[in-house]
A and B are shown apart, each in its own frame.
Chain A
Amino acid sequence: MNSAPDNVVELNSVAKTFRDFWMRPTVKAVDGLDLTVARGEVFGLLGPNGSGKSTTIKMILGLIKPGAGTVRLFGLPPDSIAARRRLGYLPELSYLHPFLTARETISYYAGLCGLDSRTSKERTSQLLEMTGLADAAGRAVGGFSKGMARRVALASALVGRPELLILDEPTSGLDPVSTNEVKTLVKTLVKGGMTILMTSHLLADAEDVCNRVCILNHGRKVAEGKIGEIGSSLQDFFLAKVGEGRDFTVAEFLR
């Protein structure tokens, strides 16, 4: 399969079924998903819990292999070193080593990205400054608040100057001020030429920053397009019914 040069992420008929110890299928997490993320856009992957967002992200990151279909990052297999060199990832929770200081954490990820010690030092200082953590740089991150830990994780994701930044629920658990800061940062990064793929429960987040969104439910694509274009069909869809056995309104989805 030849990837179009402007497509940073490309998923073709991707499916993933989880199995138990005896290899019996338990959950079909993703089912025949086609998706493309173009260079320079902010793409939102939206959907309720269990819709397959995290599984999709893990397949894009090369952490799990799809059961069917193909995933390409920059036209490369997602678990290749060349693809990972161009990737930054902020998980839903920060998952930091509690015994490292903020500076050591960012510097560790800089080293993993292959930066030499001088560049690593410079970039770590810049990112500490940018995320407002310069004063707490020498403190162990185990003692940080959730917001501060999130900023360290974001700085760590950015330290390799990725071309594609994957943000999993970037505003999860943040107060309104921090949420706005993240949104502003996303807009700034995109202006600088970065491509961003983010997941969210909240349509409001996507509306503020995303160029295009894809709505997932039960592992299937429900809708895809620009926010303005799919807004009404989205609303109609959610007002009608999403899922089996329960109503799911846009009002619920929005908040």
Chain B
Amino acid sequence: MRAFLQIVRLELVAIARSKAMVLLALASVAWMFILPRIALDDGTAEGAFQMNVRYSLGVVYTLVLVSFSAVAAGTLARDREAKRLQLTMVRPARHMFIALGRIAALTIAAALFLGVSCVALGLRYGRGRTCDHVARPVLESPEVEARRLFDENMRDYPDFRAKVAEIGERDIMKYLVQYVNETYQTISKDERAEWNFPPVGDPDARVSVRIRVTDTFGRLEKPKGVFRFEGREGVFDHVNKTLVRVSLSPAAAAESSAQKPGVLSFSNDGDANVTVYPRRDLVLLIEADGFWWNLFRAWLVMSAVAAVAVSAGVFLGASLGRGVAGFCMMAMLAASVASPAALDEYPDPMAATKADRISLRLTGISAFLTSPLDRHAPVAALEAGECVEWREVSGALASGFFVYPVLFSLLAGLVMRRKLD
């Protein structure tokens, strides 16, 4: 344990005495204060808030991930190239702890960088602002629904069976999942639609509905109607933007109070049909706690993601040269951003060539391997006023502060002797 603490201390001292890292820290803090003064927003308080969160904390978060990944990839490689690593390796410290100590120190430093930026953001926006739990309609999972469609088509259509034989079940299932996710519902004039949500129960909880309103051609509609949920209701009118938030207030009407728990209803009182994509565009927002708490949870998640990046970097640096390890780390970060986007944007797999499908499969593998870096989006949640849930935080902490550091330091300990010849 003492050896481990010494290694943590050594790395922290190295960071504190590195001019580049001190400059980076100063630049991060300065950016948090400069951006709100120079940024042009849409003139609304919410717009300014969203812009500042995205471009102040978002930029610092990206900067910390990139710079600490690079430092992590270089820390063991640099010491090995300068032959300092062998002096540590001949001491009675487990080689795994040499890597784990570096990971711990770099994670602490990254968390400090992010913490300072979070405090700066909290001082500006912490007072009076809250965040919301986001609840989605309780629907059958897209995969289950897609499987049912697949089975039905296999039973009823010989052409479909031929297509499956040609393209493969996996790609067709992907297409069907896309199809299910894009399924929309049209609510006609004077019609009423209902969706099941997890019950809220607490009558004092402040609840809103967030809905994206477009017609089937993606144009903004002018709908009118009433949302009702567990004795609350909210009127939906004078819509001038596609993403609308409707606050629900306690209602005296018998229709509202008689509703079943967890059921959200919408009565279309307008002149036109309303199109809703329930899986994609309809959420219930339940007020959670204050901005500071949400910022704290987001900070924990960001630090955990930084720990994953740092762990991978230290492992790469334990077995590769500094340049190669740094390049691999940057490629990994780029892949973590690009792969999911490529998978989302890729055209219908049924129309793709074999070569395209192989590339798509490789991109899928890349997205899977780099998913720990991309899985969480704490800045986007902060910006949207959505609660970073404790469930997500605990998952991120377990993987970022335990699973990946231990796994990568174990592997680093095994390969550390490489290149010492």
A interface, CB within 8 angstroms of B: 18, 55, 58, 61-65, 81-82, 84-85, 87, 89, 91, 93, 95-97, 99-100, 104, 108-109, 111-116, 156, 160
CA distance A97 to B78 in the complex (A): 11
In the complex, chain B residues whose CB is within 8 Å of the CB of A113: 3, 91-92
Chain B residue with the shortest CB-CB distance to A81:
B92
**Which B residues are in CB contact (< 8 Å) with A104?**
13
Best-surrounded residue of B3, B6, B13, B89 (most CB of chain A within 10 A): B6
Q: Give min CB distance, A114 to chain B, whole Å.
A: 5
B90 touches A84 (CB 8 A): yes
Residue of B nearest to A19 (CB): B421
Query: Which B residues touch A115, using CB under 8 A?
Result: 2
| New A-B pairs, 8, CB < 8 Å, besides A61-B86, A84-B91, A89-B90 | A65-B417, A89-B87, A95-B86, A99-B14, A112-B7, A112-B92, A114-B92, A115-B2
Other-chain contact of B13, A100, A114, A160 (Cβ < 8 Å) = A100
B86 lies within 8 A of A81 (CB): no
Instruction: Please indicate the chain A residues that have their CB under 8 angstroms from the CB of B91 in the complex.
Output: 84, 109, 112-113, 160
In the bound complex, what is the Cα–Cα distance between A2 and B310 (angstroms)? 44
Task: With CB as the reference atom, state the residue of chain A lying closest to B85.
Answer: A95
30 A-B contact pairs sorted by A residue (CB < 8 Å): A58-B86, A58-B420, A58-B421, A61-B86, A61-B90, A65-B417, A81-B92, A81-B93, A81-B94, A82-B92, A84-B90, A85-B92, A87-B90, A89-B87, A89-B90, A91-B86, A95-B82, A95-B84, A96-B84, A97-B84, A99-B18, A104-B13, A108-B9, A111-B2, A111-B3, A112-B6, A112-B92, A113-B91, A114-B3, A160-B92
Assuming the A-B contacts A84-B92, A109-B91, are A95 and B417 also in contact, with contact meaning beta carbons closer than 8 angstroms in the complex?
no
Q: Is the CB of A116 within 8 A of B2?
A: yes
Is there an interface contact between B92 and A91, defined as CB atoms closer than 8 Å? no
Contact A99 B6 (CB under 8 A): no
Q: Across chains A and B, which 9 residue pairs bring their CB atoms closest together, nearest first?
A: A111-B6, A112-B91, A85-B92, A84-B92, A99-B17, A95-B83, A112-B3, A95-B84, A61-B90
Complex CA gap A93/B158 in Å reads 76
Chain B minimum-CB-distance residue to A16: B421
Residue of A nearest to B89 (CB): A63
CA distance A65 to B421 in the complex (A): 9
Distance to closest chain B CB from A71 (angstroms): 13
When C-beta atoms are compared, the residue in chain B nearest to A112 turns out to be B91
B310: min CB distance to chain A, Å: 20
Please name all residues of chain A whose beta carbon is closer than 8 Å to the beta carbon of B93 when the two chains form the complex: 81, 112
CA–CA, A85 to B13, complex, Å?
25
In the bound assembly, the distance between CA atoms of A89 and B88 in angstroms comes to 10
Smallest beta-carbon distance A1→chain B, Å:
23
Q: Give CA–CA (A88, B261) in the complex, Å.
A: 72
Is B5 at the interface (CB under 8 A from chain A)?
Answer: yes
Q: Whole-angstrom distance between the alpha carbons of A89 and B89 in the complex?
A: 11
Which residues of B have CB within 8 Å of A87? 90
Q: Give the Cβ gap from A228 to chain B, nearest Cβ, in Å.
A: 33
Instruction: Tell whether B362 is near chain A: CB-to-CB under 8 Å.
Output: no
Contact present for B13 and A62 (CB under 8 Å):
no
Over the window 386-421 of chain B, the binary record of Cβ atoms lying under 8 Å from chain A Cβ atoms (1 yes, 0 no) is 000000000000000000000000000000010011
Given known contacts A64-B417, A95-B83, A108 and B90 CB-to-CB distance under 8 angstroms: no
Question: Which B residues are CB-close (under 8 A) to A93?
Answer: 83
| 0/1 interface trace, chain B 1-42, chain A, CB 8 Å (1 if under) | 011011101100110011000000000000000000000000
Chain A residues with CB under 8 A of B92 = 81-82, 84-85, 112-114, 160
Question: Which residues of B sit under 8 angstroms from A100, Cβ to Cβ?
Answer: 10, 13
Across the interface, which residues of B come within 8 angstroms of A64, CB to CB? 417, 420-421
Given contacts A91-B83, A91-B87, contact A97 B420 (CB under 8 A): no
A85 and B3 alpha carbons, distance in the complex (Å): 12
Whether the pair B5, A111 counts as a contact (CB closer than 8 A) is yes
Contacts of B86 in A (CB 8 A): 58, 61, 63, 91, 95
Q: Which residues of A contact B9 (CB under 8 A)?
A: 108, 111
Report the minimal beta-carbon distance from B99 to chain A, rounded to whole angstroms.
14
A18 near B6 (CB under 8 angstroms)?
no
The distance in angstroms between the C-alpha atoms of A62 and B95, with both chains bound, is 12
Is B10 a contact partner of A97 (Cβ separation < 8 A)? yes
Interfacial chain A residues near B17, Cβ < 8 Å: 99
Q: Which residues of B lie under 8 Å from residue A109 when comparing CB positions?
A: 87, 91
- A108 in contact with B83 given A63-B417, A113-B92 (CB within 8 Å): no
Q: Check A18–B87 contact: CB distance below 8 A.
A: no
Contact A95 B3 (CB under 8 A): no
